[in-house]
Structure 1
Amino acid sequence: MIEESTMIQMLILIAGFALVAVSSNQIARQFQKIHLPLISGLMITGVLAGPYVLNLIPEIAKVQLSFISETALAYIAFAAGSELYLNEMRSKLRSIKIQSFAQTAITFLASGFLVFFLADMIPFMKELSLGDKLSVSLLTGVIFVTPSPASVIAIVNELRAKGPFTQVVLGVTIVKDFVVVVMFAIILAVAKTLAHGDSFELTSLLIIVIELIVSFGGGFLVGKGLEAALKLKIKHLVKTVLILALGYLVYLLSHHILAWSEELSGHGLYLEPLLICLVGSFYVANYSNYRPEFLKILHEVGTPVYVAFFTLTGASMDLPVLAEVWGIALLFFVIRLLATTVGALAGNMLAGDPHRFLKVVWMPYIAQAGVALGLATVIANQFPGWGEDFAVLIIAIIVINQLVGPPFVRWAIDLVGENKSRADVPRFDGVMDALIFGYESQSLALSRQLMEKGWKVEMITLSDQKDVEVPDGIKLHFVTQIDKKLFEGIDAKKFDAIVTLLSDEENYRICEIVYEEIGTKQVVVRLNERVNLDKFVHLGVKVIDPSTAMVSLLDHFVRSPQATSLLLGMEQGQDTRDIVIRNPDLHGLPLRSLRLPPEVIILSMRRAGQMIISHGYTRLRVGDIVTMVGSNSSLDEIELKFGN
């Protein structure tokens, strides 16, 4: 009866936390609007929902829901290991190794020494024994080395950053993450010995070596387990569940082995779950054929895992202790910042990297997140006396680092000129201009149709001028290569649409330059090899695959002949158009208040890149794209009115 009651309470606790987590995800996204990281919003929401404010998540949840934290920590280790991909690191391996060593050594030694020196200024350390103070200092040094791969990778992807600086930053961040987990396993064992007042004997060293060997062996087995799960011919969702379950199983076995070894020999054998999961993920990423699928699963499940973990972490914060250590947390932030800066500068100079990087080389390593929080959680559990207070202090420092760190990553990438994010969209000049790459029958036919619709068309060809007959009404540019100077020479920002009909390599080069330098939104590519589809899609261009376009067209004619005829403009006097709202007088006007000709129908609306479900009370905004079908004359009239 008691077990049944406990189970019901557990289910209620899980259901309540799930509701809070869903709300936390929505609330945290509002923090992004003021340029704060998502995880900061999640943690703040967790604090508000926790036992010291609204009490939506009771204090008992920290223990009862520990399986959520442990599953999330396993995922974080999987994600970090999967980014340690050797093939992408070889060209900068020397710089990565030297910088990783310099940053790790200097940050660990400098921060550990300063924490020990300032021990009497830290409330919970004042009354600790010498052994405990040394333990806190060593563990702090390890955690201060910890970077935030998740933050760096997210910003690099957002900016599409490329170049030697970005490559080294990614490599160092991931290598340090791996090294920290190994270091932590060693330092944790040393800290336990110091905290218990035992002398550090050969037996203690032997136990550490055994723990590391078994952890690496366990990591290999986990890698094989992940590979086996990915091999299965089952649904994607089931594979995701199996991978997360395997991560949690690592934690369960680690706890059982620790308890069993203590009971058997009096010496606890602690296998570091983070290290095991990281090694397993590293194996899958580098020595299996399933890296792409593994990365896809980790990417898809990342948001719910982070939402649960960081919300629960925020709810688990001891606010009274946090308020007491906030001033010390700011001091520790400065200590870590100085140690990290010195380590990064030393690493850059020792590696012989360009001196222009010296001003910014320290910026990407400020942020901290998942792994650092995970290590703080482990310490809280392993040292009952002062572990909780230590974890709260570390979490306060991590919160500061995570608030301050990500903007510095972006600034560093901007300052070295490796930001490849999308250029601003050019303003409409009142004339519809199109630029077509490639001189052939299809490009000529497209040019004529666009000119009939009132567009001005220019064409670029790599062909020899003597082999080409210049068509009437089309400005033709003869070039020998495609580069940024070409786009500057033709004033490319005036074009409202760009069409590329060259080879995939040339098309991709054009799309990259347009994305990074020009900003034109309407880019259409004719694909040659389907294997190249994804890289074009990532640039946000419209891709036409000739091998499937005809089949899709025939399919639509069979299933929806009337709609297809309308969309293709095959009905006499009828057409379908995307009309951009540029007239400021229409801003805020409901659709039902528009005076449209009776034969014109609104098919869809797109706002800020998202399709919206429109109805009579939907209000227009400048920049909206409204798709309409109707007679050519009516659409011409509406286009003039809406476009102003």
Structure 2
Amino acid sequence: MTINPILSLAVIFILGFFFSRIIKKIKIPTITAYIVLGILLSPSLFNLIPENFLSTSNFFSQIVLGMIAFSLGESFSLVTLRRIGRSVIGISISASLFPWVLITAGCWVIFNQPFYVAFILGAIGVATDPAATVMVTQEYKAKGRFTETLLGIVAIDDAWALVIFGLSLAIAKSLATAGWDTLGVFKDSFRALLEIGGSFLLGGVVVIVFNKLSYFVNTVKERLIYILGFLSLVIGLSISFHFSVLLSCMVFGAGLTNSNKENFQFFDSLREIDTPLYLIFFVLAGASLKISCLGAAITLTSAFIFFRILGKIAGAFLGAAAVGAAPAIKKYMGLALIPQAGVALACGLVAKHAIGGDWGDKILTITIASTVVFELIGPWAAKFSLIKAKDIKE
């Protein structure tokens, strides 16, 4: 029997439902469950998600990537940034920059990988998993200054990650095509700046049009249709003009958040439908893993994990020291920022399609494998840091 795309979707939904319930019993994060399920269903193993289905799923992936970036734009609320304070913003920026630099330098200098590959991996390493961190604080009823600071950091961490990734990918694509040729780098860097600037301009212009026409939206159903239409417009125009889908959609989300206090309703409407879409997205991400690449990427994956953990710990420590944070925040905040999931996978998929070839596959393989590791050890590390900070009891 031939497995057609509709049957593949049926398998994803049904097995995804039961698999996530089983995995929850042993306290493994849902995203990890979806990734593992995708690996099992992939062409490399049981082939219930055939290669031809994966090759045509880029259209769907772009929609979900846009949704993820759009929802992160909500984190850039000026009200939120003022509430969490400058010290939290300082720590979050430092804890974002250090993994970027250490992973890039480590993979390039020590492991002799192409600079553009190391640069992209460094940017992917910036992302965290706010959901896993929030779940740990809620499960153990964590309270205190450390917890408040941690929740403030993870609220905006992935937004920084998208900005850094957008910049890094644009530069990396230039280096991948032009190498270190001076004239070629100059031309491609200018093109990269146009891509980034165009992404910001597109997101901003659509916000203005969106707000002008939102007067006609009256019901909950209309709100969902309206936001889906404009989000698709941003994604489609970004693809047509070769802008960054992630940056354009994040700017669109940030613009809506800050331009009208009633616009939060559009984010709520989108959350009503995101669960099944995220299920498909993460299962397909797992299915995209090429088992044949895993063996060759083990060393680089281990390096990525090591330098990311080191970068988060060092970045949080130095950032906390710079803003005069409490000793517990300096010592343990980095460990609490280890979880990594959705945004990293989104960036990995974008990088795979942007770079292409064996290096694109290798980047995605490293991202998926490290995400599984971080999702398994991350919640434990967050709990450990909260205990050490005395925000939860042992």
TM over 0.5: yes
Q: Which residue of 2 aligns with 1:287?
A: 259
Q: Which residue of 2 aligns with 1:300?
A: 272
Check whether the contact 2:318–2:330 (CA below 8 A) recurs between aligned residues: no
1:408 to 376, 381, 385: 381
2:202 to 193, 201, 218: 218
**What residue identity is the alignment partner of 2:276?**
P
Q: Which residue of 1 aligns with 2:304?
A: 332
Q: Deviations over 1:163-199 (max 9, x none)?
A: 4333332333343322232222222222122222242
Q: Report the Cα distance in structure 2 between the residues aligned to 1:257 and 1:185, rounded to whole angstroms.
A: 15
Q: Which residue of 2 aligns with 1:167?
A: 148
Q: Deviations over 1:125-169 (max 9, x none)?
A: 5xxxxxxx0111111111111222343345455566554333332
Q: Report the Cα distance in structure 1 between the residues aligned to 2:236 and 2:6, rounded to whole angstroms.
A: 19
1:366 deviation in Å? Answer: 0.8
Over 3 Å counting, the alpha-carbon distance change for 1:80 and 1:228 in structure 2 is same
Check whether the contact 2:223–2:266 (CA below 8 A) recurs between aligned residues: no
Q: Report the Cα distance in structure 1 between the residues aligned to 2:89 and 2:122, rounded to whole angstroms.
A: 20
2:262 aligned with 1:310: no
Mapping of 1:404-553 within 5 angstroms? 404-418=377-391
Q: Report the Cα distance in structure 1 between the residues aligned to 2:343 and 2:252, rounded to whole angstroms.
A: 16
Question: Higher helix proportion, which one?
Answer: 2
Q: Report the Cα distance in structure 2 between the residues aligned to 1:239 and 1:158, rounded to whole angstroms.
A: 33
Check whether the contact 2:312–2:335 (CA below 8 A) recurs between aligned residues: no
Q: Which residue of 2 aligns with 1:250?
A: 234
**What residue identity is the alignment partner of 2:95?**
Q
1:35 to 12, 27, 37: 27
The percent identity for this pair of structures is 28
2:100 to 98, 104, 108: 108
Q: Report the Cα distance in structure 1 between the residues aligned to 2:146 and 2:214, rounded to whole angstroms.
A: 34
Check whether the contact 1:25–1:42 (CA below 8 A) recurs between aligned residues: no
Q: Which residue of 2 aligns with 1:184?
A: 165
Q: Report the Cα distance in structure 2 between the residues aligned to 1:412 and 1:228, rounded to whole angstroms.
A: 47
Q: Which residue of 1 aligns with 2:85?
A: 93
Over 3 Å counting, the alpha-carbon distance change for 1:163 and 1:141 in structure 2 is same
Q: Report the Cα distance in structure 2 between the residues aligned to 1:351 and 1:397, rounded to whole angstroms.
A: 31
Q: Report the Cα distance in structure 2 between the residues aligned to 1:68 and 1:348, rounded to whole angstroms.
A: 40
Q: Which residue of 2 aligns with 1:239?
A: 223
Q: Which residue of 2 aligns with 1:392?
A: 365
Over 3 Å counting, the alpha-carbon distance change for 1:163 and 1:285 in structure 2 is farther
Q: Report the Cα distance in structure 2 between the residues aligned to 1:35 and 1:376, rounded to whole angstroms.
A: 25
Q: Which residue of 2 aligns with 1:431?
A: none
Check whether the contact 1:229–1:243 (CA below 8 A) recurs between aligned residues: no
1:311 deviation in Å? Answer: 0.9
Q: Report the Cα distance in structure 2 between the residues aligned to 1:137 and 1:195, rounded to whole angstroms.
A: 12
Q: Report the Cα distance in structure 1 between the residues aligned to 2:58 and 2:136, rounded to whole angstroms.
A: 30
Q: Report the Cα distance in structure 1 between the residues aligned to 2:176 and 2:140, rounded to whole angstroms.
A: 46
Q: Deviations over 1:543-582 (max 9, x none)?
A: xxxxxxxxxxxxxxxxxxxxxxxxxxxxxxxxxxxxxxxx
2:208 aligned with 1:208: no
TM-score if structure 2 supplies the norm length? 0.88
Over 3 Å counting, the alpha-carbon distance change for 1:315 and 1:276 in structure 2 is same
Q: Which residue of 2 aligns with 1:359?
A: 331
Higher relative contact order (CA 8 A, sep 6+): 2
Give the number of aligned pairs: 388
Mapping of 1:376-387 within 5 angstroms? 376-385=348-357, 386-387=359-360
Q: Report the Cα distance in structure 2 between the residues aligned to 1:46 and 1:371, rounded to whole angstroms.
A: 17
TM-score if structure 1 supplies the norm length? 0.56
Check whether the contact 2:317–2:334 (CA below 8 A) recurs between aligned residues: yes
Q: Report the Cα distance in structure 2 between the residues aligned to 1:299 and 1:254, rounded to whole angstroms.
A: 23
Q: Unmatched 5+ residue regions in structure 1?
A: 1-8, 126-132, 259-270, 421-644
Q: Which residue of 2 aligns with 1:81?
A: 73
Secondary structure in 2 matching 1:116: helix
1:202 deviation in Å? Answer: 4.3
**What residue identity is the alignment partner of 2:85?**
L
Aligned-residue RMSD, C-alpha:
2.7
**What residue identity is the alignment partner of 1:287?**
S
Over 3 Å counting, the alpha-carbon distance change for 1:333 and 1:297 in structure 2 is same
Secondary structure in 1 matching 2:333: coil
Mapping of 1:18-29 within 5 angstroms? 18-29=10-21
Over 3 Å counting, the alpha-carbon distance change for 1:325 and 1:59 in structure 2 is same
Q: Deviations over 1:357-403 (max 9, x none)?
A: 23321122111112211111111111223211221122211221122
1:240 deviation in Å? Answer: 2.9
The structure with the larger Rg is: 1
Check whether the contact 2:257–2:263 (CA below 8 A) recurs between aligned residues: yes
Q: Report the Cα distance in structure 1 between the residues aligned to 2:220 and 2:250, rounded to whole angstroms.
A: 22
Q: Which residue of 2 aligns with 1:138?
A: 119
Q: Report the Cα distance in structure 1 between the residues aligned to 2:229 and 2:151, rounded to whole angstroms.
A: 28
Range 388-397 or range 13-22, more displaced: 13-22
Over 3 Å counting, the alpha-carbon distance change for 1:152 and 1:250 in structure 2 is farther
Check whether the contact 1:68–1:308 (CA below 8 A) recurs between aligned residues: no
Q: Unmatched 5+ residue regions in structure 2?
A: none
Question: Higher strand proportion, which one?
Answer: 1
Q: Report the Cα distance in structure 1 between the residues aligned to 2:375 and 2:225, rounded to whole angstroms.
A: 29
2:44 aligned with 1:52: yes
Q: Which residue of 2 aligns with 1:63?
A: 55
Check whether the contact 2:40–2:287 (CA below 8 A) recurs between aligned residues: yes
Q: Report the Cα distance in structure 2 between the residues aligned to 1:46 and 1:236, rounded to whole angstroms.
A: 34
Q: Report the Cα distance in structure 2 between the residues aligned to 1:356 and 1:340, rounded to whole angstroms.
A: 15
Check whether the contact 1:72–1:306 (CA below 8 A) recurs between aligned residues: yes
Secondary structure in 1 matching 2:47: coil
**What residue identity is the alignment partner of 1:337?**
I
Q: Report the Cα distance in structure 2 between the residues aligned to 1:107 and 1:379, rounded to whole angstroms.
A: 18
1:419 deviation in Å? Answer: 5.6
Q: Deviations over 1:202-232 (max 9, x none)?
A: 4444333332222112112343465568655
Q: Report the Cα distance in structure 1 between the residues aligned to 2:213 and 2:61, rounded to whole angstroms.
A: 22
**What residue identity is the alignment partner of 1:254?**
S
1:309 deviation in Å? Answer: 0.9
**What residue identity is the alignment partner of 1:43?**
I
1:107 deviation in Å? Answer: 1.8
Q: Deviations over 1:264-315 (max 9, x none)?
A: xxxxxxx111111111111222221324423422433332222111111111
Check whether the contact 1:222–1:277 (CA below 8 A) recurs between aligned residues: no
